[in-house]
Amino acid sequence: MMFADIGCGDGFFSILAAQIVGETGTVFAVDSDEKAIERLRSKATRLNLGNIKAVVGTAEKTVFCKACIDLVFYSMVLHDFETPAQVLLNAKKMLKPSGTLANLDWKKARMPIGPPFAIRFSEQDTLGLLKMAGFNRSKVKDAGLYHYLVMSKPSEYCGL
């Protein structure tokens, strides 16, 4: 299995994914914060996880491969990208035809934690961006008090 963690930070989900996909799988990770990528690489080395390919870069310019990724994952970062639509177009390029995009994000609600209300994307905002990028096979799920999860397939794919 091939997993891409876009906007990975110091790799919380990258590490978990690397353990799940095992030695035969690959985790691609990208973040613009060089120090965060250094921390991820250090953790991966300490845990003997040689299946993580971590790079410093922007999500707007990063395409790890074409039609090779099983799961492209975003964790509470879509609102942080300079051009979220481009980031989602890149995800579509990387995904296998049967691949899945997963976006775990903050609910658009006023709460004591998380990013400012003004920059959050509602579920509808996210679905609109996904549709513009060629994803229209989407499901939204509640992910607790503060978050939601959108799972989406490229438009050409018939099942979810």
15-56 tens-digit pLDDT: 999 999 999 999 999 999 999 999 999 999 999 999 999 999
The structure's pTM equals: 0.93
Average pLDDT for residues 116-139, to the nearest whole number?
Answer: 94
In the sheet that 147-154 helps form, which strands lie side by side, from edge to edge?
52-56, 26-31, 2-6, 69-75, 95-106, 147-154, 135-142
pLDDT score of 158: 43
- Would you say residue 121 has pLDDT above 60? yes
Match 């040689």 to its residue by tokens.
50
- Would you say residue 10 has pLDDT above 70? yes
Looking at the DSSP bridge assignments, the partners of residue 135 are: 154
β-pairing verdict for 147-154 and 95-106: antiparallel
pLDDT score of 52: 98
Instruction: Give the whole-angstrom CA distance, residue 8 versus residue 36.
Output: 8
Q: What percent of the chain has a predicted confidence (pLDDT) above 70? A: 97
- Whether the Cβ atoms of residue 2 and residue 69 lie closer than 8 Å to each other: yes
- Whether the Cβ atoms of residue 14 and residue 36 lie closer than 8 Å to each other: no
pLDDT score of 159: 45
- Would you say residue 145 has pLDDT above 80? yes
Domains of the chain: 2-154 (3.40.50.150)
